[in-house]
Amino acid sequence: MVDEKEWLASFMAIYEKSTPLIHVVSKLDAEGQPASLNDLADAHYGFTHILKSAKNLPTPKQRELKNIKNDFERTLASVIKAGEMAAKMLDDIRAGSKLSSRMHYSSMVGYIGHASVYHSSLLRGFEKVGITAV
């Protein structure tokens, strides 16, 4: 059986490592533009390890904590996919492939939209269990 306080302490340690970068790459700016392609591509590599750590945490029994874990994993997975699309788009730009770069850009923006929704849900989950998170 998973002790919820211990689980939450472990989870928050993982979450706090990712928070600064999540805020950069999981949102579109006022003009609907993503973070820089290089930031997104870099996030892909950094978040892969963080996602693995989050997935290795046991699943808590409390529904709210389970939802927090799921929303965090979905946020990271979406940002990772956005980073993959950013890397492909950079390759397309270097190769002069306009059509492919537009397709990867659209996918990237879609994944960022998903990440933003999951991250918002994660923050609401924190509020439900009384955690003040940034």
pLDDT tens digits, 37-76? 777 777 777 888 999 999 999 999 999 999 999 999 999 9
Model-level pTM?
0.88
- Looking at residue 1, its pLDDT comes to 58
In the predicted model, what is the mean pLDDT of the chain? 88
Name the token pair of 86: 């950013």
- Looking at residue 10, its pLDDT comes to 93
- Looking at residue 26, its pLDDT comes to 75
Name the token pair of 81: 């996919």
Per-residue H/E/C for 48-64: HHHHHHHHHCCCCCCHH
Residue ranges for the chain with pLDDT beneath 50: none
